[in-house]
Amino acid sequence: MKFQVIKEDCFVKETKRQLKKNEVYYILSDDIKDNNFYYVMKTLFPLYIDALDKHCKHIYVIVNGGIGDVLMQSSIPEHFKDVNVTFIVTKSKMEAMKWFKNKVNIIDISGPLLTDFNIHNRLTKYKNHRMIASVPAFLHNNEADWYEIMYRQCGFKNINPDVLRPFLSTKRISKAKSNIKDKNALLIINRASSMLRSMPFLDVYNSLSDEIKDKYTIYAYKGNLTDDELKMPFKDVCLIEAKNTSQFLLDLYDAKEVITVDTSATHFREGIQKHAVCLFNSFPKEIRTKHYKYVDCFNIKSNCNLQFCTIHETTNYTICPKVKEWQHTAPCFQSNTNKTLIKQLKTIFNNYL
């Protein structure tokens, strides 16, 4: 995490962008160095690491992850209700933040983050501003609950467990239509952002009893099915497409029930206080959902000696170490290689749907 502070007004030819003195930009590159027009800072403000810090007036949170990471961090403004909270995110994440229960300030991560970061203001205006290092708290954490790690890093030892979960609006925030047309809709989300946490749609569908299929109208995203699955005659499945994040979240809100391997759906349903059946394989449910109240989460077992591998997608098409090339799903999450998968899913679905 580094920041670029502009020394003098300048024009960047590569990006065709006019930069002004005392503006601050967030940068990802570790190779960037000071030059005539800017200097580099590792942090703008002190990290919030003291639960007894009574001087803190404003907290900044930088979110580099996906939608799920943004939704999880709705816990921060719930806990720090007496402090101004600013989230620094990409434009694609801003739609998700509209669901936050508590209002926060939002800054586009492409910047500028600040426009008046001169020496005088650092010593006065920004003196009691802090940052929460949320990403390092969980990126390499394979054992403890993400929320516990983050708040422990801030100096809180006995935080109320009720805060250790997402806090979103329980009311529908938009009049826009979703893809869900039936009151008893069961939305299946069998794909995550990585093959490591994705499951064949057919395995989920084949694990649903006839009673469940009669009880619900089944919905699934067309893009989550393989070409072979799309050729199958699923007469009782409504295939839909989410045009954007906003529609995806409305689909999640309007569904009566949800089965998901995608943690963004898990966090969203928990935040809006609606039930979902959430399936985990590459990392255990306990490090993400230990204190959740409204969703039911399950660790899918396999005979893989690497489970839980807790591998995060650091690059596109990060693959499971048990396969030689990218494929749609990991071996532990498909019935062809995990022979107990269907039995596990049937037991879960029959008891929780």
pLDDT at 327: 79
Is residue 251 a contact partner of residue 178, using CB atoms and an 8 Å limit?
yes
pLDDT at 314: 57
Question: What pTM did the predictor assign?
Answer: 0.92
Mean pLDDT to the nearest integer, 304-309: 85
Tell me the β-bridge partners of 217.
185
The percent of residues in the chain predicted with pLDDT above 70, rounded, is 93
Tell me the β-bridge partners of 11.
18
Cβ atoms < 10 Å from Cβ of 171: 9
**What are the chain's domains?**
2-163 (no CATH), 185-352 (3.40.50.2000)
Compute CA distances 347 → 210, 273, 286, whole Å.
14, 24, 20
Cβ atoms < 10 Å from Cβ of 101: 15
Residue 61, H or E segment: strand 58-62
Give residue-wise pLDDT tens across range 274-288: 999 999 998 889 988
Give dist(CA 74, CA 163) in Å, integer.
10
Give residue-wise pLDDT tens across range 25-60: 988 665 566 677 888 888 888 877 777 778 888 999
